[in-house]
Every structure is written in C-alpha cells, then in structure tokens.
C-alpha cells in the first residue's frame, strides 16, 4: 500500500476511534469524561510515532472537530487535552527521549489540565473548590475535630497535584504496555533510586516555606497571597512525594518490603487511638491528626534534604550496611 494512502487511512481510523468514544460517552451521559485522559492520548500517540508530529497535529485537529459534533464543551476540552498529551508523548518516543522526560512532561500536561479545569474554567466544569473545602470543614466540625481551614486547603491542593502525578504514571505505564505489544521501541526503565528532583526545586521549597512564616507579618495583595499559598501547597506535595520515595528506596535496599506499609499502619493506629481518646475527652480534638501531621513534616524534611544534598546516597549506604550486618 502506498505510504500516503496508508497514512491517510490510519489517520481516518484514529479519528473514527475518537468519534466512537465520543458517541459512547454521549450515550452514557458523559460518564466516560473522567476516563478520556487515560484513553484518547493513545491513538494520537501511536500516529505521532509512525508519521511524525506534523501529520499527527492534523489528526488531532480533526479529532477535536469530530468531538464538536457529538460532545459537550467539557468533553471537547478533554479531547483537545488528550491530543496534546499524545503529541508530546509520541514526540518523546520518536526522538528517543528518556523515561524521566516522558513521565515528567506527561505529569506537567496533566497538571496544566487540572489547573484549567479546577480553577480557570471551574464554572464550566462545575467545580467549586471553596464549597468543597467548606463541606470538609463542616464534616470535621461534626466529628468534633479541630482542623484549620488553611490545612484543609493545603490538603485539597496536595491531593489535586498528587492525582496529576498518578494520572501521569498511569498513562506512562499504559503506554509502555501498548507500545510493547506493538513492538515499538520504548526507553529502558532506570532503577528507582536514579530518579531525582532538581536541586532548584528544593531551594524553592525552602524559600516558599520561609515566605509562609513571613507573610502573616507583611501586607500583600490578595492575589499574591493566593498564588503563594498554592505554590506552597504544590511544593509541599513534591517534598512529601520525594520523601516517600526516599523511604521506599531505603527499605527496599534493606530488604524490608513492608517497611513503608508498616510505618503507615502504625501512624493510622496512633491516629485512631488519638481519636478514641478525644471522644472520651482525655485529649484535645486538635491532637487527633498529630501523628499524621508529624509524619508529613518528616517526609517534607526528608524530601527537601534529598533535593539539596546527597542524603539519598547516605541512606542507601547505611541501609545496605544494616542489611549486610
């Protein structure tokens, strides 16, 4: 078959697949919207690898046009975002980029989509973060838990960011499975301890944390305070994730596969004990989340230390010595 004919035929098939998913989504009352970001990048991704970014952009535009025929604005946005992710990922595979590049850019695209859907276009997508935070605060009050509103905001933003990270990991692993079946070369996975956050991110986290202690004593515009608050929450999420990764690596080197799990189980049991004691009035309700808070602070400290120093190598060395002894 002539290459141009094959290119045109496969492009039409990719657009048709998007159209079928959109029709099915419409018949299911848009129940598939939350899964579109996991499904639709792959037709564009595969087409980008085979025929290049320039041809894949045409297919992506056609896919968005088809979605206008069958979908609501929210679904159209997800189709466009999925096409962008497919283009970026396909370009990375075609140009032999590393696993870190592929995963990092996928997470970045997911984060941009989350920011647009949750904050910029919140009214279109039906999100109201303030109402959800107020609902959580109300539930905490009904359970006699003393939780600051700012803490709930930080937890909400961290949860949103971590969901983007998990979405990026899911797309990355699905791409690995699909491309392996299609016998398309995929970058070799590096050992877990080779993945490191950039050093500048650690210094940024330190500056943002210091700024969080200074801002109560300085008058700033409301917009600047909101931006700083969101940046602090994202930095804390990254610090916690890096700290957790260091713990996983340390226990893996030691040979204790259930070390991290047992740690979280202990923290959960301590939290349950604190809640039981507060129910009987033996301790303050504000102390219920103390074990979780301490664990998070420890993870933040480990994460920052790992980014700005050679702490991870020291952890690996010490855990290796403990295992050998």
230 vs 158: CA distance, rounded Å: 9
- Please give the mean pLDDT across all residues of the chain: 80
276 vs 220: CA distance, rounded Å: 41
Say what the pLDDT of residue 2 is: 66
pTM, to two decimals:
0.73
Say what the pLDDT of residue 84 is: 92
Say what the pLDDT of residue 147 is: 62
183 vs 94: CA distance, rounded Å: 13
Going by the DSSP 8-state scheme, the letter that residue 310 receives in this structure is S
* Lowest-confidence region among 39-43, 112-116, 184-188, 249-253: 249-253
Say what the pLDDT of residue 12 is: 87
Identify the residue with better confidence: 230 or 180: 180
Mean pLDDT of 56-81: 87
Counting Cα atoms < 13 Å in the Cβ hemisphere of 120 gives 8
Helix (H, G, I), strand (E, B) or coil at 189: coil
DSSP one-letter string for 248-281: HHHHHHHT-TTHHHHHHHHHHHHHHHHHHHHHTT
Closest to 311 in 3D by CA, of 321, 303, 300: 303
Domain-by-domain residue ranges, the chain? 1-189, 191-325
Identify the residue with better confidence: 190 or 55: 55
Question: pLDDT tens for residues 14-38?
Answer: 888 888 888 888 888 877 887 888 8
Say what the pLDDT of residue 88 is: 92
Helix axes 222-254, 259-279, angle to 10 degrees: 120
Q: Is the pLDDT of residue 1 over 60?
A: no
Q: Is the pLDDT of residue 316 over 80?
A: no
176 vs 194: CA distance, rounded Å: 19
Helix (H, G, I), strand (E, B) or coil at 87: helix
Say what the pLDDT of residue 239 is: 85
Look-up of token digits 């295992």:
323
Question: pLDDT tens for residues 247-279?
Answer: 777 777 666 666 667 777 777 787 777 777 777
Question: pLDDT tens for residues 191-226?
Answer: 766 777 888 888 888 888 888 778 777 777 777 777
Closest to 26 in 3D by CA, of 79, 103, 83, 85: 79
Identify the residue with better confidence: 65 or 248: 65
Q: Is the pLDDT of residue 150 over 60?
A: yes
Say what the pLDDT of residue 325 is: 58
Pick the CATH number of 1-189 from 1.10.8, 1.10.3210, 1.10.1760, 3.30.160: 1.10.1760
Say what the pLDDT of residue 322 is: 62
H-helix or E-strand containing 138?
helix 129-142
């Amino acid at each position: 078959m002539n290459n141009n004919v094959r290119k045109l035929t496969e492009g039409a098939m990719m657009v048709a697949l998007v159209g079928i998913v959109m029709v099915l989504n419409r018949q299911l009352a848009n129940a598939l919207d939350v899964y579109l970001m996991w499904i639709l990048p792959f037709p564009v991704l595969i087409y980008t690898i085979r025929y290049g970014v320039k041809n894949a952009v045409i297919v992506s535009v056609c896919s968005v046009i088809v979605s206008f025929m069958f979908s609501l604005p929210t679904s159209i946005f997800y189709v466009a975002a999925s096409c962008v992710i497919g283009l970026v990922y396909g370009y990375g595979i075609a140009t032999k980029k590393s696993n870190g590049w592929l995963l990092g850019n996928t997470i970045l695209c997911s984060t941009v989509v989350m920011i647009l859907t949750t904050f910029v276009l919140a009214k279109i997508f039906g999100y109201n973060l303030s109402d959800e935070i107020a609902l959580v605060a109300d539930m905490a009050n009904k359970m006699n838990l003393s939780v600051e509103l700012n803490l709930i905001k930080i937890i909400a933003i961290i949860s949103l960011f971590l969901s983007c990270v998990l979405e990026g990991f899911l797309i990355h692993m699905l791409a690995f499975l699909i491309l392996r079946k299609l016998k398309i070369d995929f970058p070799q996975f590096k050992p877990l301890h080779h993945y490191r956050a950039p050093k500048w991110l650690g210094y940024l986290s330190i500056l943002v944390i210091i700024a969080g202690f200074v801002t109560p004593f300085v008058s700033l515009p409301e917009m600047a305070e909101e931006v700083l608050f969101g940046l602090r929450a994202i930095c804390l999420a990254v610090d916690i994730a890096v700290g957790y990764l260091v713990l996983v690596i340390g226990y893996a080197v030691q040979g204790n596969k259930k070390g991290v799990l047992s740690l979280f189980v202990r923290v959960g049991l301590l939290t349950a004990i604190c809640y039981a004691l507060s129910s009987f009035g033996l301790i303050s309700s504000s102390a219920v989340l103390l074990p979780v808070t301490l664990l998070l602070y420890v993870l933040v400290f480990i994460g920052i230390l790992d980014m700005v120093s050679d702490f991870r190598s020291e952890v690996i060395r010490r855990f290796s010595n403990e295992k050998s002894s």
